[in-house]
Chains A and B, each alone.
Chain A
């Protein structure tokens, strides 16, 4: 699937649903649901729940994060919410407050 990018200057006030991969460099004020890899860049932020196959977070999330494959909180990530994924990594430098559920 084509690379989809929500640019750094973009603000979406609503839900985003994507087949394939998605990179978010902007702001989304609604639920994000991606079938493939979701990459939230350092400039990116999501103020709602995030669902993806593989979720890479380097930006900010205020909401629950679900990865059907895995969730990676990279350095610089800020997550305020719960994580649900079979595999989870939290890098040094990531800020995280929430519950983890790994029995998916």
Chain B
């Protein structure tokens, strides 16, 4: 844990859990859960197993597992993870991409999912300054999402749910028709996942894209670069299968 008075200028890497309440100016690469507490600041790109943000980040964030931007948190940069959660009150400026939509690359059956996902992952911008926009979209997703979206969802899945839903809710904000599309997509995904056991390639590409510049641009080439994702996707798929 790095307390409030700690300033690190340079790159930081390693294994295990890390909590930053101070300031890191440099890239952060952690094989473990990363927490950026209130008052914590990271200026640089982050790669970690999972990232929970209550402070502020200027840079891209990639997580193998999930990203959670909490109420007081703010992110200026792109988010990329299988599961992303953005709480009400969090500020996010950048491209948000959940790994749940790596279907893009897959042919045939998965094409619709890709189509539905790509316009929505364009640029999600939410901030406390626009509560009117955010609230209606986020609230139902945060509190009641599991029950509302899946009757059969267990409470112990709530990390998954929490992580997934607010992000998607935000996309809905950009595309109101997405709710239906999303459900359709999920159902389809669930079906196609169980029918598609392929998990090609390594996650090299995924890792290498980590130090990408904060600009939204570099994330786009990533969209068609589906192959690196399927491993994580499979994970998500597994969770979804469990659900059903």
**Chain A residues close to B by CB (< 8 Å):** 1-20, 22, 26-27, 29-30, 35
Q: Is there an interface contact between B11 and A5, defined as CB atoms closer than 8 Å? A: no
- A2-B4, A6-B2 known; A14 and B16 CB under 8 Å? no
Majority secondary structure of chain B interface residues (helix, strand, loop or mixed): strand
* Chain A proximity mask over B26-58: 1 for CB below 8 Å, otherwise 0: 100011100000000000000000000000000
- CB within 8 Å of A: which B1-39 residues: 1-18, 21-22, 25-26, 30-32
A-B contact pairs, 6 of them (CB 8 A): A1-B4, A5-B2, A12-B11, A14-B9, A26-B14, A30-B9
- A2-B21, A13-B10, A13-B11 known; A18 and B5 CB under 8 Å? yes
Taking the closest CB of chain B, its distance from the CB of A75, in whole angstroms, is 26
Report the Cα distance A7→B2, complex, angstroms.
9
**Chain B residues close to A by CB (< 8 Å):** 1-18, 21-22, 25-26, 30-32
Q: Is there an interface contact between A16 and B7, defined as CB atoms closer than 8 Å? A: yes
CB neighbours of B15 from chain A (8 A): 9-10
Q: Is there an interface contact between A9 and B7, defined as CB atoms closer than 8 Å? A: no
Report the Cα distance A26→B21, complex, angstroms.
18
Q: Is there an interface contact between B10 and A1, defined as CB atoms closer than 8 Å? A: no
CB neighbours of A13 from chain B (8 A): 10-13, 26
